[in-house]
Structures are given as structure tokens and as C-alpha cells.
Structure 1
Amino acid sequence: MKDYDSYLSDTAKQIQPSGIRKFFDLAASMKGVISLGVGEPDFVTPWSAREATIASLEAGFTSYTANPGLLELRQEIASYLNSRFSVTYNPEDQIIVTVGASQALDLAFRALLNEGDEVLIVEPAFVSYSALVTIAGGTPVPLATSAENGFKVTAAQIEEAITDKTKAILLCSPNNPTGTYLNKDDLREISEVIINHDLITISDEIYAELTYDERYTSIASIDGMYERTILINGFSKGFAMTGWRLGFVTAPTEFAKVMLKIHQYTTMCAPHMLQHGAIEALRDLDNVEIMKNSYRRRRNYFVQSLNNIGLDCHTPGGSFYVFPSVRKTGLTSEQFAEQLLKQEKVAVVPGSAFGESGEGFVRCSYATSLEQLQEAIKRMARFIASLEK
């Protein structure tokens, strides 16, 4: 047989492994590590959702569902989006239940992109965005942001980056990894450029429930944006349901129909019994508020503590990540992460994993107990002191 490499897809070969998983796997092989690396809520899924899933199994709900998901769940999603974020979607033909928000993103890109179409991606950005655009045949175009303005992309930046090949822009607010939140005023300015250039927006709103200082605004609620927005959301972060792999995508009917065709052939449907748990999760939002209030307290403590030990860090508006600068240490982000892990057993993710503009920073998740965060700060302070000797 020939060399296996000759049989593999050129597109698949050029995609780099996740920089997040590299450090997570390394940390998992060590004892006594405090992991601030992976975006995993430390809360267990609320009992009401688990109980509903157990009951659905006992009742024998183990078959396929309709391709877009249980109608009852889609109705709950529609009600949730309307009451929480003032956007209205028809559960009959504008909502698809997916296997996590990641599959929803994949569906959006595959439905939209032809070979060579450009997608603007605000960086630092979640590691899968560029890869998914590439897999779908598109060309990812990074828009670098900086700490000086809290990692916010501006309308002028977007305007400058648009070419005759630009088809879409991907926005994630609150952002992973920076936690940056785009408020209503930010979105209005950005929307003017998007509308003027007739672009489509893929809006990753997976952290919408974890917005701490302002009421969340979906870009789909901005005048003129509903008809040109594909909205991605799910249950992983705000509902502490990462392992359930349940997300959803909502869009104008014309987009949703095409995404549904791809979903039919690649996935069929999300797991039946888990959809019953998601229905109950959407009916029990008190648990979401409890988790959010806890994350807010941790954020405030962690940001202040990082600044106190000499790692400059802006206060993120949402998510459960902070993105402190490590430039004062003289180390690259990868060197800092590797040495901190080996010397003090604290796992963080180098900012370079999220694009070139992430170099000089590290991503730390505060989705862990306050006691763990306090111990992590002690270890990080000791590590920084050791570099100064």
C-alpha cells in the first residue's frame, strides 16, 4: 500500500490540532494540577434536567426524533429566545436542535460557503472557527483586536477588511477567550457596516447567559439584522450541560432549510432522551441565575488578584474567562504556560492558540471553585516571583 499521506485530504491535513487540548491532555497526566485551561463549568447539570432525562429513558424515549429536534423543545427554545433576548423564531422551520453549538457552527458554514468565500473572524478567537471555515471551503480572515480597547472589534476595522470575496462575519459575544462583550451601541455600529456591504453574520451566543454588567443584546435584535443573522446557542455553558452535547441554530427559513438538509445526512437528530432534559432546563432558569452570580463573584476576585500579582488584565464583560497579559515576564505565551504548568502545576492556555493577536496573553477559566482560584493565584504569584530572581 502507498504512503497513507497520499490518501488523506489536503484540507484535513493542513488543519492544526487544538492548542487547548494539548495543554489539557498534559495537565491530565500530572497529579495535583489546578486546571484553568478548559471551559468546563464546575457546576453539575441541575437535577431538574437530569431527572427529566432519567424519566424519559424510563418511559422508553430511545427512538429518533424529527430531524430538527422535538417540536416541544423547539417551542421552548423559541419562547426562551423571545423572552430573554427579544428575538422571534418559528419553531416549525427556523430552529434546529444540534449536537452542541459546534455542530451548529459547522452547519452554518457548510450552508453558506463556496470555495474561496471569505469569513471575517474577530481574534483572539475560539480555536474551531478558522478550522470549520476551512473545512467548508472558505477562507478565514482574522481581525486582530488588542487589550488597549478591551479586545473590541470596531466598525472601522471591519470596513477595512472587507473585500469582494467577503461573504460573512463571525462574532462571538461574550468572547472566548477574552470575555469581551459587545453591547447594543457596539452592535449598532457594526451592523451598519454589515448591512451596507450585504454580509451575513454568524453570531455565536453560547455565553449569552453569562453576561455580568449589562443586559445581553443579540445582534439579531438590531434593526435590519434579523434577516441576515444565523444565531448559534446551546446548553453547554450557561446551563452546565457540556457533556450533553446539545445546541441549536436559528435562522431565517431559507438558511434553516439548507442547514437542515446537511443535518439530515450527517447527524439525523440529537439524542432523544437528552432533548427532554433540555426542555426542563429551559423551564428552570433560576439555576442559571445562581450560576451566573457565582461566576460574577469569581470574576471580580480573579481579575483583581491577577492585576495585584503583576499580570495586567481587563475586566471581561462575560463568559468565564480572563485574558491576562504575560508580556512583562519576557516569556512567550506558550513558554509561560509550559513553565507555569511544570513548576507550579497550574494549567492555562497560551493566547497564541487563539490567533496571532493572542500572543503575549494566556486564557484562564474561572469556572472552578473560589478556593481553587485562590490557590492558583498563590502559585502564579510564586512563579512570577521566581522569574524576577
Structure 2
Amino acid sequence: EVRVPADQPSLQAAVDAAVSGGRICLDPGTLVGTTTVDAKPLWIEGASTVLDGSGAGPVLAVTGTAGLTLRGVVVTGGDAVQGAGIAVSTSTVTLEDVSIEQNTCTGACQGTGLRTYASTVTLLDVTLADNTAVGLGNDVVQGAGVHFDATVVTADGVTLIGNTADADTWVDGGAWSHRGGTAVVRDLVATGNRAASGSQPRGSALRVTQASLDLTGALITDNTVEGGVNAGGAVALLSSGTTTLRNVLVAHNQTLAAGQTSYGSALYVFGHTVHVESSTISGNSTDAATTWGSAIQLFTGSALDLRNTDVSGNTGVATNGVIRAEQSTFTATYSNLFPDDVVGATSPVGTDGNLSVDPGWTVDWQPGPALVDAGDPAVLDVDGTRADIGHRGGPDAPP
């Protein structure tokens, strides 16, 4: 065991001194500087220790390492184009009880808080907050909070809050961006994130492309896409992947595109297969002059299936459907569409248990009587009764 600062003055010195598979313990306080771990498995544990890059970055870079665990630290003050807070490449890494906050990037930013490439990553109680990315000229910004590239992700307890991605032209994912690989995630909160550009910002909270996501238990609320011809006020799902959303609340997200066009104030789907189960998509909005799908827009080669899901109260100006499908398929069972406004596909209301009623959501997101016990009879709530429609229903419903 190596202690910092008792045995070594810095984390880098401790990494250099530690044996492969060794343990490094960080005392409370702030450690200023950057650290690189290269091909050395380690366990690094802090006591709410702050790792401060002081304007340099990545604060922590991990390459070619078969097993690294980092827990109990705050990573801040980093500045780099890829992973200003933490950058991981060709490694297996576990982050536990880690906060990655207030890191910055200017340029073609990828994952200002956390960026991974060709890696396997486990996130347990991880917060990514107030990280910023600014793209200039033709720079493409991907994920001010996190960008996973060709990465296998397992996560339980992730908070994305206040991350901001701005660019002159293109932003893909204000908080979370995943390109290539898979992710299995439980208990995610994404709120107050922003993706803005003069051209095409997509997905203020989550953007997934050429990857698969299985998400159970999430609150995706009050996120904003702004500027240009924009898409996915909350979530953008793109290009040859499969996503399952289960017990997810997508609410009060917005697309701001005055005088221009917006696609999907909640979900934008392009060439992606999406299953939405026991979820709620409600109260999302746009101010765009033209809106394609005030809740959900499906484009070329997409498929959307709703089950036990409420889509209600989503609004826009000059809208072309609450759910709009173009060269895509849309099906639903035991779901509620209010209003019943489907363009480009046949409305399922009146068949397969589908409804079009005011859901009567309360201010704390309890369902009204019309949704209670109105879900698929084959699915039971936690109390053993027939499932309610919406994110409060089904065996994985929150308490």
C-alpha cells in the first residue's frame, strides 16, 4: 500500500512507485496535477480527495491497463480535447463514488468529463456535472459529460447534470455520447444539460449511434437542445443500434429553434430500433417554426415499439404529428397516446389495449385513474396488481 502524501508527494509518484495490482490510498485534501497510468493494474482510493488538473489535462489518463479501480475522488479542473477529466484507452476500468465536474474543452471535444476508447468500463455512483465543451468552426462536439467510443459500459447510478456542449456547427450529445459498443445502465438521472449549435445539435441528454443501450430506471428532465435545425430535445438514437428504455421518465425537455425546424422534442430516431416499456414521455416542447414529431420523430429505417407507455402533453408550433414516422415502423400495445396524433403510420389507438385519455399525472408524477391497472395484463406491478401505464408501472417501477 502506498499513501499520498505520507509515502509519496503526488498521485503520479505513487503510481510510479506502486507494484502492479497494488493499492494507493489518498488522504483528504486536494492533489494538483495530472496523472498517467500505463499498463499497470491498480486500486486507487480517495477520501473525497480532489484531483485538480489546474487547467491541464487529462487529469487522469489510463492506457493499456487490464484493471484499474478509482473510487472516492472528485476529478476537476482538467482541460483537453479528449477526456479533460478522465481519458481511458484500451483498458478495463471501474469508477466508483466518483464525481467528474467542471472540466473544460475547446475544439473537437470528445467527452470533456470522461472519454473512453476500445475499453470496458463500469460506473457505480458516478456524477458528471458542469463540464463544458466549445467547438469552433467545423469542430464536432461529442458529449460534454461523457463520450464512449467502441466501449462496453455497465453502470448503476449515474447522474448527468448541467453539462453544456456548444459548437458553431455540430453537437452530438450534450451530456452522454456513445458511438460503438454496448451499455447496460440502471438508475440514471439527466437534468439541466444543454446541446447548442448554429447548425445541427442532437440529443441534449443522450446520443447513441452504432451502439446498443439497455436503460432501466431513468429521469431525463429539463434538458435543452438549442439552435439550428435541431433534433432530440432529450435523446437522439442513430444508425444501426438497438435501445431499450424501461421505467424511464422523459419530461419537460425542449428544443429551441425559433424560425427553423425541430425533429422530436423528446426522442429523435434515425436508423435505430427502439423498445420503450413502462415509460412516460410527457410535457416536452418546442418553439420551432416547424416541428416534425412534437414528441418523437422516426426517420429512415427506424422501428419504435411502445408497451405500457404514456405519450402525452407534448407540444409544439405548426407540428407534424406528436409521433411522426418517415420510412419507419411504429407499433404500440397497452399504451396511451394523448392526443392521438400519429403521422406516417397507422394510429394504434383503439386496438391492442391502446388508449387516448388524459393521463392525469400529478405534480409528483403519480398516474391518474385512467392509467392505473390499464397496462398489459401479463405484466404486474411491484404490488402484484395489473401494471399501470407509464414509468410508475411494471416490476422495475420506482418506489
**TM-score bracket for this pair, using the shorter chain length:** under 0.3
Higher percent of residues as helix: 1
TM-score normalised to the size of structure 1?
0.22
TM-score normalised according to structure 2 size: 0.22
Name the structure, 1 or 2, with higher relative contact order (CA <8 Å, separation 6+).
1
